[in-house]
């Protein structure tokens, strides 16, 4: 999955983080968070320890509640509830830094959050991968449609939800 968002040179090696496709971060370390406090227990960590941060395509991040107390590590692929259906993303943050990150983003840890449903199974990853493979083709078609309909918009990207049931068009 590494460097799937990066453009490539003529010889096929990806631009971006210069790891030639081996970074595995699916985002070239854009907006990453390193948990310097991972080996320390913070005051108040217990009450918010079931909240995790999940990263999706293009470094879009959201907070989710791990109400089932699943054993989740940083980097794990997880299935989370979405408005309609479910989505799949990488776990980027858990533990004591989550409340700090939520405060920084002006979010209340007590607010209603969508739940983490489970860790991603291979079937989930396959559906997600097939959906992501269709994104470029659909982006081209949508750009052609916008031109044909004389719409004053430039479609910059498309993101499929993890279950493939919904696509978000960024313009």
Structural domain boundaries in the chain: 1-30, 51-121, 126-170
Query: Nearest CA to 120 among 60, 56, 46?
Result: 56
Rounded CA gap, 21 and 6, in Å?
A: 9
Query: What does the pLDDT look like over 104-132, one tens digit per residue?
Result: 999 998 899 999 999 999 999 999 999 99
pLDDT tens per residue, range 67-93: 998 999 999 999 999 988 899 999 999
């Amino acid at each position: 999955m590494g460097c799937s968002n990066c453009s490539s040179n003529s010889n096929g090696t990806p631009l971006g983080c210069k790891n030639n496709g081996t970074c595995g971060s699916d985002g070239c370390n854009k907006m990453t968070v390193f948990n310097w406090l991972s080996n320390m227990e913070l005051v108040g960590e217990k009450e918010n320890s079931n909240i995790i941060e999940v990263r999706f395509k293009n470094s879009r991040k959201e907070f989710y509640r791990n109400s089932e107390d699943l054993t989740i590590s940083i980097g794990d692929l997880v299935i989370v509830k979405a408005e309609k259906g479910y989505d799949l993303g990488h776990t980027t943050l858990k533990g004591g830094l989550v409340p700090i990150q939520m405060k920084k983003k002006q979010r209340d840890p007590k607010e209603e959050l969508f739940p983490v449903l489970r860790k991603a199974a291979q079937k989930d990853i396959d559906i997600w991968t097939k959906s992501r493979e269709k994104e470029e083709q659909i982006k081209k078609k949508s750009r052609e449609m916008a031109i044909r309909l004389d719409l004053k918009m430039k479609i910059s990207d498309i993101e499929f939800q993890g279950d493939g049931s919904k696509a978000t068009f960024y313009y």
